[in-house]
């Protein structure tokens, strides 16, 4: 057997297997790019659960025309330049893989009108990518920012396409990830539509509490208590804030437990456990409390470079943070005579 270097398209498609599982993963990656680009408004338009179209538009800093091709090539990023930065990552992205992966398994169009030094470029430039074929960029009229169009997902990887679920199922996943990201980014406006139907419309510059209340259903929003932990000087200036649901609105699923660390949506079994512990004896063990937990901590206290999708993180001082969360919620419940 001869050893050969893989062609770039194949490398990207293999990487796509890790980060682009389904339409919701594309939405997550693109919305995170918009947030990293300092967008204050992000619009997500979905057709047929993303089978047909995923469009993410933002009003962020955009991509310079001469960097468009680089943006879709693997391991190319504007967010990480030296190994020591890996220890304290301040952006949601840093792997330089998403756009390369997405464009290797779909028909992707990037329209971007960049702003540099406060000045918007005269026009937008458009780059179309289909598999390994790139169109030369051409100009277009467009507001400052970026629009990513993703069509015909997995058209060239039939094995992956087989795993796409019904549009309604895929859309439910998209809605869930958009909700979670919006929860963590209360300053940013989000609009989500499915087949032109408005699903979510959140204004920018909400407070954290307003954002939580706008995102949870009517049945939940009246059952929320606010908690916080003020004096976290001993944790390098970390802050903890959140809303915890009354025991009687606990659910059978984890769906209404939101965890945000430094603006990032995370999954963490231990942190979920810490929240459950706070409710010990107040809700049956098969139920999960409703809660939104926001922690801001020094970037070097949390390692996000654990998994390609970056949903799982590793804490440098896990016990400390879990104790804080448990105690803050417990105290809040006690203060409310629960």
Stretch of 73-81, 201-209, 306-314, 319-327 lying at the interface with ligand ADP (CB under 6 A): 73-81
What residues contact 107, with CB distance under 8 A and at least 6 apart? 128, 129, 130, 150, 151, 152, 155
CA distances, 50 to each of 24, 33, 202, 306 (Å): 8, 18, 21, 27
* Shorter beta-carbon distance to Mg ion: residue 93 or 289: 93
> 151, exposed or middle or buried, with CB in 10 Å at 0-12, 13-18, 19+?
middle
Q: Within 28-57, which residues bind Mg ion (CB under 5 A)?
A: 33
Binding mask 67-96 for Mg ion (x = CB under 5 A): --------------------------x---
| Contact with Mg ion (CB under 5 A) among 16, 42, 98, 177 | 98
- Report the C-alpha gap between 249 and 287 in whole angstroms: 10
What residues contact 1, with CB distance under 8 A and at least 6 apart? none
- Nearest CA to 13 among 215, 145, 156, 222? 156
Binding mask 299-328 for ligand ADP (x = CB under 6 A): ------------------------------
| Contact with ligand ADP (CB under 6 A) among 23, 49, 50, 62 | 62
Binding mask 145-184 for ligand ADP (x = CB under 6 A): -x--------------------------------------
Q: How far is the CB of 333 from ligand ADP (least distance, A)?
A: 39
What residues contact 143, with CB distance under 8 A and at least 6 apart? 59, 113
* Shorter beta-carbon distance to ligand ADP: residue 103 or 206: 103
* Shorter beta-carbon distance to ligand ADP: residue 20 or 293: 20
Q: Within 84-103, which residues bind ligand ADP (CB under 6 A)?
A: 93-100
**Dihedral (C-alpha) 218, 258, 183, 225: value to the nearest 10 degrees?**
50
- Report the C-alpha gap between 273 and 208 in whole angstroms: 23
Q: How far is the CB of 67 from ligand ADP (least distance, A)?
A: 7
Q: Residue 42 interacts with ligand ADP (CB under 6 A)?
A: no
Buried b (16+ CB within 10 A) or exposed e, 205-231: ebebeebbbbbbeeebeebbbebebee
Q: Which does 137 bind (CB under 5 to 8 A by kind): ligand ADP, Mg ion, none?
A: none
- Report the C-alpha gap between 304 and 301 in whole angstroms: 10
CA distances, 309 to each of 25, 97, 149, 163, 278 (Å): 8, 10, 21, 18, 29
Tally helices (H) and strands (E) across the chain: 10, 18
- DSSP at 312: B
* Shorter beta-carbon distance to ligand ADP: residue 58 or 65: 58
Q: Which does 174 bind (CB under 5 to 8 A by kind): ligand ADP, Mg ion, none?
A: none
Residues in the chain, overall count = 338
Q: Residue 12 interacts with Mg ion (CB under 5 A)?
A: no
Q: How far is the CB of 96 from ligand ADP (least distance, A)?
A: 4
- Report the C-alpha gap between 59 and 35 in whole angstroms: 10
* Shorter beta-carbon distance to ligand ADP: residue 127 or 283: 127
Stretch of 54-62, 168-176, 261-269, 302-310 lying at the interface with ligand ADP (CB under 6 A): 54-62
Q: How far is the CB of 214 from ligand ADP (least distance, A)?
A: 24
Binding site for ligand ADP (CB under 6 A): 29, 33-34, 37, 58, 60-63, 71, 77-79, 93-100, 146
Binding site for Mg ion (CB under 5 A): 33, 93, 98
């Amino acid at each position: 057997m001869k050893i050969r270097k893989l062609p770039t398209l194949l490398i990207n498609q293999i990487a796509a297997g890790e980060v682009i599982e389904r339409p919701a993963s594309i939405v997550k990656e693109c919305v995170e790019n918009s947030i990293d680009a300092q967008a204050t408004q992000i619009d997500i338009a979905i057709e047929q659960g993303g089978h047909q179209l995923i469009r993410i538009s933002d009003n962020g800093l955009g991509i310079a025309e001469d960097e468009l091709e680089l943006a879709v090539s693997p391991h190319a990023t504007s967010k990480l330049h030296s190994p020591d930065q890996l220890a304290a990552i301040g952006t949601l992205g840093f792997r330089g893989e998403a756009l390369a992966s997405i464009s290797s398994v779909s028909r992707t169009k990037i329209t971007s009108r960049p702003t540099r030094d406060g000045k918007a470029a005269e026009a937008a430039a458009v780059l179309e990518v289909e598999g390994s074929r790139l169109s030369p960029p051409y100009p277009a009229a467009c507001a400052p920012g970026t629009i990513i169009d993703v069509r015909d997902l997995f058209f060239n990887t039939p094995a992956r396409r087989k795993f796409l679920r019904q549009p309604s199922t895929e859309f439910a996943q998209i809605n869930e990830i958009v909700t979670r990201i919006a929860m963590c980014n209360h300053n940013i406006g989000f609009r989500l539509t499915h087949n032109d139907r408005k699903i979510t419309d959140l204004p920018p510059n909400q407070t954290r509490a307003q954002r939580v209340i706008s995102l949870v259903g009517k049945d939940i929003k009246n059952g929320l208590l606010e908690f916080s932990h003020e004096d976290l000087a001993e944790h390098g200036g970390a802050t903890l804030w959140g809303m915890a649901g009354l025991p009687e609105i606990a659910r059978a699923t984890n769906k209404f437990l939101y965890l945000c660390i430094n603006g990032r949506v995370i999954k963490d079994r231990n942190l979920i456990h810490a929240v459950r512990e706070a409710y010990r004896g107040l809700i049956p063990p098969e139920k999960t409390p409703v809660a939104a937990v926001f922690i801001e901590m020094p970037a070097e206290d949390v390692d996000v470079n654990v998994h390609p999708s970056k949903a799982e993180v590793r804490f440098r001082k896990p016990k400390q943070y879990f104790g804080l969360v448990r105690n803050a919620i417990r105290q809040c419940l006690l203060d409310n005579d629960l």
